[in-house]
A and B are shown apart, each in its own frame.
Chain A
């Protein structure tokens, strides 16, 4: 092939190279920019409603990481977020948008509670793994229902996962008001799980429990599954290009249903770990909105295990800090959710930000020529 290389051609090649280089650093930098932007907007909101943003942020950070006890509690709150966030992330990698985290967390908690109460004669080294497995299966089953409906009957997963959330809540409510209610039936809650089901506390005197370590281990396992196993490869190919997967002979139905099982299972595990690590008994809405927050955690963490740990800790800190903030100054706790929503918006908009390097590079070249 003969090559005609003109000035324009070399210029565009050069441009391409510098853009790629810049993009590489930019993509690492982006989540931090996102969080910063979201906090600036939130500060503005606080200012508009007539409070001092500095006081608010000070109270928030203080509440979240001010003392060892606070920091431990932030990690306690981040544990279910990391687990569920990993679940959401592996789903998205496989092209599955799991909006059913809420219900899966609830059912996971229910299954774990049942095992933790009825098998409490077992020793911890058997009972704890059994509880975790039950939680995983509980969430996974609910996820699999959506996966199966989608694969076999072509039912939209957005609708099915959203509806299954409410069905999951209803099942938990029925259980804690009925067969699972703590005698004599005054409070709407289950009895405590057996002592041998309870996860050990990591730092004495704090609420940081072994569940956090489980979350870290799961982050590593999920990374290995996604990038080091044929199954993970198949799932990622389906997520990026289902047609190519079909032509390569990947069993899409099986892989996707398994993907739903794992995605829902991790959410269920989040619920289960919360029960045997912190709350010890089942209540209605025992992790409110964590299923939705997990989506934000997964997205902000760029669907990457390490990123999800970081963003999980951030969101856990927000959760923990917000209640402290509400006590310290008169800002409602729901501010934390507002901040989270703004972070999600920034994450969504950041795909546009990733065009920035290209845009600026192109402009600078244009200016050179003019």
Chain B
């Protein structure tokens, strides 16, 4: 029976894959949460992830060392994040439009550079990937050990990011500052918080996180670079932020949901269950839409100053 087959999907192996699949989405969703908390929406996180995926693969291909690839990815993320900040914070460009440009730029520039540097290839070039690493003792725990502690180092890094994100957001003065500049930048400014500086810090730091998320794809999941390989995961991250109500733990939960959906459709395909593959491929997107509809909450609002550039002195045409 199909139902039995579907149920048989849920093994510890399945949950192991869920965690692995969700990792890049979690990283991107947490980064986006912080960014939106600071009053900036980065629609282009998909593009930023493409940069990370490409430069990660490129670095690994050039040096043969995936960690140097990761380093190159992080550098690309810092640069891209800084540039995004310059466009939206200093030039006050419309955040949605700049984000749009980053989506297109992420897809096209990586594709362009890939062909320029590696030439036109029939098959994707394999690069050295980051290997899984069992954590001593913890990985021996039945089921949990397999699911959580036989993963690759980027997954462990993500565990750390989840905890750190929560602590920073709710227990430090940094988190308070970031929330303040996203809710009421004028109030924050009048209390001596440097709105511009903190928004830059957010765009640059999250740029690095987006890039690591992208590098997860090219260095741990596939060990290669392919055009458009993020396949909308950046958009899932955007949805996860809304589902998680701008809370890093909530965003993680949302991202896990999409990871679960993604892993589920992969499993079903692998099992040869007679559902057209297009339906399966579309499932995560349908799931996302349904989740956003189902978990909607009228009393939860995005940060008040989201998408609004900050200007201390408004050039009003009539003084007061």
Residues of B within 8 A of A97 (CB): 96
**In the bound complex, what is the Cα–Cα distance between A341 and B238 (angstroms)?**
21
A296 to chain B, nearest CB (A): 8
The answer to whether A154 and B296 touch (CB under 8 A), given A159-B239, A332-B115, is: yes
Contact: B98 with A348, CB < 8 Å?
yes
Contact: A349 with B93, CB < 8 Å?
yes
B104 to chain A, nearest CB (A): 4
Contact: A344 with B288, CB < 8 Å?
no
B45 to chain A, nearest CB (A): 12
Nearest residue in A to B47 (C-beta to C-beta)?
Answer: A341
Contact: B235 with A154, CB < 8 Å?
no
Contact: B235 with A340, CB < 8 Å?
no
Greatest chain B CB density within 10 A among A170, A173, A174, A178 is at A170
Interface string of A324-349 (1 = CB under 8 A from B): 00000001101111101110110111
Residues of B within 8 A of A336 (CB): 108
Residues of A within 8 A of B100 (CB): 99, 292, 295-296, 344
Q: How many residues of chain B get a CB closer than 8 Å to chain A's CBs?
A: 44
Contact: A166 with B282, CB < 8 Å?
yes
The answer to whether A158 and B43 touch (CB under 8 A), given A332-B111, A349-B91, is: yes
Contact: A299 with B92, CB < 8 Å?
no
Contact: A292 with B276, CB < 8 Å?
no
Contact: B242 with A159, CB < 8 Å?
yes
Contact: B279 with A170, CB < 8 Å?
yes
Residues of A within 8 A of B115 (CB): 332, 334
Q: Within the complex, which residue of A99, A332, A358 is in contact with B116, where a contact is CB–CB below 8 Å? A: A332
**In the bound complex, what is the Cα–Cα distance between A349 and B101 (angstroms)?**
11
A295 to chain B, nearest CB (A): 6
Greatest chain B CB density within 10 A among A174, A341, A351 is at A341
Nearest residue in A to B235 (C-beta to C-beta)?
Answer: A162
A192 to chain B, nearest CB (A): 23
Residues of B within 8 A of A149 (CB): 293
Contacting A at CB under 8 A, from B85-122, are 87, 90-94, 96-98, 100-105, 107-109, 111-113, 115-116, 120
**In the bound complex, what is the Cα–Cα distance between A345 and B91 (angstroms)?**
11
B100 to chain A, nearest CB (A): 6
Residues of A within 8 A of B93 (CB): 345, 348-349, 351-352
**In the bound complex, what is the Cα–Cα distance between A296 and B98 (angstroms)?**
11
Contact: A156 with B87, CB < 8 Å?
no
Interface string of A134-163 (1 = CB under 8 A from B): 000000000000000100011110111011
Residues of B within 8 A of A167 (CB): 282, 285-286, 289
**In the bound complex, what is the Cα–Cα distance between A289 and B97 (angstroms)?**
16
Contacting B at CB under 8 A, from A55-113, are 97, 99
Contact: B94 with A348, CB < 8 Å?
yes
Residues of B within 8 A of A170 (CB): 278-279, 281-282, 285
Contact: B289 with A163, CB < 8 Å?
yes
The answer to whether A352 and B91 touch (CB under 8 A), given A174-B278, A335-B112, A344-B104, is: yes
Q: Within the complex, which residue of B94, B98, B238 is in contact with A159, where a contact is CB–CB below 8 Å? A: B238
Residues of B within 8 A of A173 (CB): 278
Residues of A within 8 A of B97 (CB): 295, 299, 344, 347-348
Q: Tell me, yes or no, whether A49 is within 8 Å of chain B by CB.
A: yes
B302 to chain A, nearest CB (A): 8
Q: Within the complex, which residue of A166, A338, A352 is in contact with B285, where a contact is CB–CB below 8 Å? A: A166
Contact: B289 with A160, CB < 8 Å?
yes
Nearest residue in B to A337 (C-beta to C-beta)?
Answer: B108
Q: Tell me, yes or no, whether B161 is within 8 Å of chain A by CB.
A: no
Q: Tell me, yes or no, whether A114 is within 8 Å of chain B by CB.
A: no
Subset of 12 A-B contacts with CB under 8 Å:
A153-B296, A154-B296, A163-B286, A164-B289, A166-B285, A170-B278, A296-B101, A334-B109, A334-B111, A338-B109, A341-B108, A345-B93
Interface residues of A (CB under 8 A from B): 49, 97, 99, 149, 153-156, 158-160, 162-164, 166-167, 169-170, 173-174, 177-178, 289, 292-293, 295-296, 299, 331-332, 334-338, 340-342, 344-345, 347-349, 351-352, 358
